[in-house]
Amino acid sequence: LEATPVNAQQDDYIQTANRSAKHLLSLLNDILDASALEAGKMTLKPESTFLPALVTDVHALMRPVALEKRLVLNVRQDPALPRWVMADGTRVKQIMLNLVSNALKFSEQGTVLLEVWPMEPEPGAPATAARIGIRVTDEGMGMSAAVLAKLFQRFEQGDASSVRRHGGSGLGLEISRNLARRMDGDIEASSVEGKGSVFTATLCLPLSTPPTEQTS
> What is the per-residue pLDDT across 40-66, written as a single tens digit (0 to 9) for each?
667 888 999 999 999 999 999 899 889
| Contact (CB, 8 A) for 200 and 187 | yes
Confidence class of residue 30 from pLDDT cuts 50, 70 and 90?
low
Looking at the DSSP bridge assignments, the partners of residue 192 are 196
Triad 122, 81, 95: Cα angle to 5°? 80
Query: What H or E segment, with its residue span, contains residue 36?
Result: helix 8-38
CA 100 to CA 181: how far, in whole Å?
19
Triad 144, 93, 166: Cα angle to 5°? 40
3-state secondary structure of 189: strand
Predicted local distance difference test score (pLDDT) of residue 21: 78
| Contact (CB, 8 A) for 96 and 54 | yes
Predicted local distance difference test score (pLDDT) of residue 206: 94
Q: What percent of the chain has pLDDT over 70?
A: 84
Query: What H or E segment, with its residue span, contains residue 196?
Result: strand 196-206
- Residue 79's identity, in one-letter code, is P
Residue 157, exposed/middle/buried by CB under 10 A (0-12, 13-18, 19+)?
buried
Mean pLDDT over 176-190 rounds to: 92
| Contact (CB, 8 A) for 118 and 87 | no
Mean residue pLDDT of the chain comes to: 84
Predicted local distance difference test score (pLDDT) of residue 146: 86
CA 13 to CA 170: how far, in whole Å?
27
| Contact (CB, 8 A) for 94 and 45 | no
Looking at the DSSP bridge assignments, the partners of residue 49 are 85
Length of the chain: 216
Predicted local distance difference test score (pLDDT) of residue 157: 53
> What is the per-residue pLDDT across 63-102, written as a single tens digit (0 to 9) for each?
988 999 999 999 999 999 999 999 999 889 989 999 999 9
Q: Would the pLDDT of 123 be above 70?
A: yes
